[in-house]
Homo-oligomer: A and B are copies of this chain.
């Protein structure tokens, strides 16, 4: 079975694993105040050109999203996001469990835009019953989105501008940011400049686990570690996150992994297109969503794992193939051959 069902099927990239093994017997203080976390923080601040930013390492995406959002909102506020956003669909109500409504906006291929955000705010404050409704309190984007699409720098600039005018903190979920950096014109310094908080995901880019949250808003960064601890996000052996991110950031490994995930996905994409299978969504990143004739499902499932996404019509089904840091040229070759032969 060759696994394309998600981008977290295997362990760590060899360089990450080696860093963990090499440092295993070092004795460090706990909870993220060790030398490895500190070095990784300095590296990431430099990469973001944000020397004052707060950097916090968490173990997973749901935890990062919940902690950031809970830390940002006042009780009567909600978070604007695409209806397909991870926090709205696949976190078992984690945001609501902290008391906040997810204010879902209609999304085109997983994305929302500046106009929607502005309109939502205007309509909220224009409504005479505004105090009876949840106040929009921040904006959540994912980049890449849950559908593999990416924002352009121009789109992000426009969103950021609306957010600042409306005094809405802007948060970018970068669980797959390594791919986003490879497939869009948005850079780390752009994110640091345009957002109040974002994260660079490691779990889906070759770490055992780990997300690096970058907070450029001093008000939000203040006391953030309390809230991190409250949400169970302060790993006792915090050095594990520091060690992994040091290796991930060293010599652009994160960029290299992102590029490689995207490159293999593009090979798959061409194979789908050449086969005449339409794409459910136009994704330039490591998630590809071909629409298969139902007859192709069975044969492929015998050798490959992938995710059934949505029934498109009686005879066709959209599915998701994901590449990861460990997807090999050979894995993709094999799948391409099988597609061609179907």
Per the bound structure, the CA–CA distance linking A260 and B131 in Å amounts to: 31
Are A235's CB and B96's CB within 8 A? no
CB distance from A229 to the nearest CB of B (A): 4
* B residues less than 8 Å from A108 (CB atoms): none
- Would you call A240 an interface residue if the criterion is a C-beta within 8 Å of the partner chain's C-beta atoms? yes
Q: Which residue of B lies closest to A89 (CB)?
A: B133
B30 touches A11 (CB 8 A): no
Contact at A8–B93, with CB atoms within 8 Å? no
Is A155 an interface residue, CB under 8 A from the partner? no
Q: Is A152 part of the contact surface with B, judged by Cβ < 8 Å? A: no
Cα–Cα distance between A204 and B102 once the two chains are bound (Å): 30
List residues of chain B with CB within 8 A of the CB of A239.
11
Beta-carbon contact of A232 and B232 below 8 Å: yes
- Pairwise interchain contact B25-A230, C-beta atoms closer than 8 A: no
Contact pattern, A 209-238, Cβ under 8 Å of B = 1, otherwise 0: 100000000000001011101111111110
Interface size bucket, A side?
A: 35 or more
Kindly list chain B residues whose C-beta atoms are within 8 Å of the C-beta of A74.
71, 223, 227
Q: Is A294 at the interface (CB under 8 A from chain B)?
A: no
Complex Cα distance, B243 from A207, in Å, reads 16
Contact B230 A97 (CB under 8 A): yes
Residue A135 is within 8 A (CB to CB) of chain B in the complex:
yes
Residues from 253 to 312 in A contacting B, C-beta threshold 8 Å: 305, 307-308
Within 8 A of B (CB), among A11-34: 11-12, 17, 20-21, 23-31
Q: Lowest 10 CB-CB distances: which A-B pairs, in order?
A: A63-B232, A11-B24, A76-B226, A9-B27, A3-B27, A92-B230, A93-B134, A8-B236, A96-B101, A92-B229
Instruction: List 7 extra interface pairs beyond A20-B20, A74-B223, CB under 8 A.
Output: A11-B20, A11-B237, A27-B326, A59-B235, A76-B227, A128-B308, A209-B237
